[in-house]
Amino acid sequence: MDSYRQMWDRLGLNLAAHDQLMAALPLTYADVYLRQENRPKGMEYFDFVVNEIHGQRVKELQDFRDQGGKVVGTFCIFVPEELVLAAGGIYVGLCSGLDIGSAEAEAVLPRNICSLIKSFMGFKLARVCPYFESCDLLVGETTCDGKKKAFEVLGDFAPVYVMETPQKKSVSGRALWLEEIRQLRQRLEDLTGQKVTKESLRDGIKKVNAKRRALKRLSHLRRLSPAPISGRDALLISQIAFYDDVERFTSQVNALCDELEQRVESGIGIAAKDVPRIVVTGTPMAIPNWKVPYIVESGGGVIVAEELCTGLRYFDALTEEEGDSLDDLLENVAARHLEADCACFTPNTRRMDKIVDIVKDYEADGVINYVLSFCDPYAVESYQVEKRLKSEGIPCLKIETDYSQEDAGQIRTRVEAFLEIIANK
């Protein structure tokens, strides 16, 4: 990493604070990931990506910008990657999974605000995220009131464009969202100087769909017993999907799936067949938010699916690739990106149906409903989730937490008790 210091300095990072972050991350990663037994060899690539998390990929972004390219940073799966690619840009997810820069964030935000919002503001204001500093435009969305207002504040420190997310999947809501997609296309064209054409958008759609298909392939393998890969590793792959090169990432996921298929044929799993199988639902887990998955899997369970934006919501639906015109393809992009059952929607009964279907499809034994503190949409919707699961006879444990480790012991006690109850049913 020392070879990148000149680049970080040029980006304006706070090198002393950044050094502290880079010193702590490998220790956490080793505990959570590298000490797993019987881990697939194909995970070595993803370990390398994390080891180079602020190195190689950031350098690739700088090289791209040096050649006149533009980088677009995002916080949410509602922002269509295929449209960014079609305009000649690169799409990257931004840092927001760690309690960092709290003092700086609390100087401009309320203290009691969602950890994700405070985190991304802290990363930016403390100047420890090279992805923030590599972006020519940040694209936000109005999936919650906290984000919506925080983006106004963030606009004082970086160029920000905000998409209005509809609150209902109604005819009028879909019309609003299609117009937002069209306006984003114009903003991206202004940024990059390149026109989005039918051909460039279809190419972008195909590339991102290939990534989604690879992730779906991985997800389908997790239905099998014994589970061929840990939930921790699957989550890590989904997190990396937000900022790695699209085609390289797709190739590596498919290579891993080839290995997992061989493991399945040989009866090799990451955990025993009788280990409780868990589905996680709720607030997305941005990198490096690994606390709950680590506790679940080091405590005797295995996570087999995530009904999260860093999970099935990210890749389960594909964008229709056929269309006679550019407008047809823009309509396809808009339709696909309203498939996610975010808690911002009302009513959101389809999310409840999907959680139940996932439990059945993955032969799971229980659900962990994960909610970040002060994440109001998912916190309030927890009532509907738990009511539906109870009616289906599916065990559920709600965990409300933040990015700190202060409650890790308490969570571990609750999770282990939950797993024991499931195991004894």
Contact (Cβ atoms closer than 8 angstroms) between residue 289 and residue 373: no
pLDDT beneath 70, residues of the chain: 1-2
CATH of the domain at 164: 3.40.50.11890
**Does a structural domain hold residue 75?**
yes
**Tokens 């389809």 sit on residue:** 350
**Does a structural domain hold residue 163?**
yes
Contacts of 381 (CB under 8 A, 6+ apart): 343, 348, 351
Taking the CB of residue 387, how many other CB atoms lie within 10 A of it? 12
**Does a structural domain hold residue 169?**
yes
Q: What is the pLDDT of residues 76-131, one digit of tens each?
A: 999 999 999 999 999 999 988 999 999 999 999 999 999 999 999 999 999 999 99
**Does a structural domain hold residue 336?**
no
Q: What is the pLDDT of residue 8?
A: 97
Q: What is the pLDDT of residue 425?
A: 77
**Tokens 């995530």 sit on residue:** 306
Q: What is the pLDDT of residue 24?
A: 86
* d(C-alpha 379, C-alpha 398), whole Å: 10
* d(C-alpha 319, C-alpha 337), whole Å: 8
Q: What is the pLDDT of residue 2?
A: 67
Taking the CB of residue 26, how many other CB atoms lie within 10 A of it? 13
pTM above 0.95, yes or no: yes
SS (H, E, C) the chain: CHHHHHHHHHHCCCHHHHHHHHHHHHHHHHHHHHCCCCCCCCHHHHHHHHHCCCCHHHHHHHHHHHCCCCEEEECCCCCCHHHHHHCCCEEEECCCCCCCCHHHHHCCCCCCCCHHHHHHHHHHHCCCCHHHHHCCEEEEECCCHHHHHHHHHHCCCCCEEEECCCCCCCHHHHHHHHHHHHHHHHHHHHHHCCCCCHHHHHHHHHHHHHHHHHHHHHHHHCCCCCCCCCHHHHHHHHHHCCCCCHHHHHHHHHHHHHHHHHHHHCCCCCCCCCCCEEEEEECCCCCCCCHHHHHHHHCCCEEEEEECCCCHHHHCCCCCCCCCCHHHHHHHHHHHCCCCCCCCCCCCHHHHHHHHHHHHHCCCCEEEEEEECCCHHHHHHHHHHHHHHHHCCCCEEEEEECCCCCCHHHHHHHHHHHHHHHHCC
**Tokens 């990363």 sit on residue:** 123
Contact (Cβ atoms closer than 8 angstroms) between residue 102 and residue 404: no
**Does a structural domain hold residue 126?**
yes
**Does a structural domain hold residue 110?**
yes
Q: Which domain holds residue 145?
A: 2-45+54-197
**Does a structural domain hold residue 202?**
no
Max intra-chain CA distance, the chain: 62
- Our count of domains for the chain comes to 1
Q: What is the pLDDT of residue 1?
A: 61
Q: What is the pLDDT of residue 317?
A: 97
**Does a structural domain hold residue 273?**
no
Long-range contacts made by residues 412-420, C-beta under 8 angstroms, separation at least 24?
A: 412/295, 412/299, 415/292, 415/295, 415/296, 415/299, 415/301, 415/368, 416/299, 416/300, 418/366, 418/368, 419/276, 419/278, 419/296, 419/299, 419/300, 419/301, 419/366, 420/300
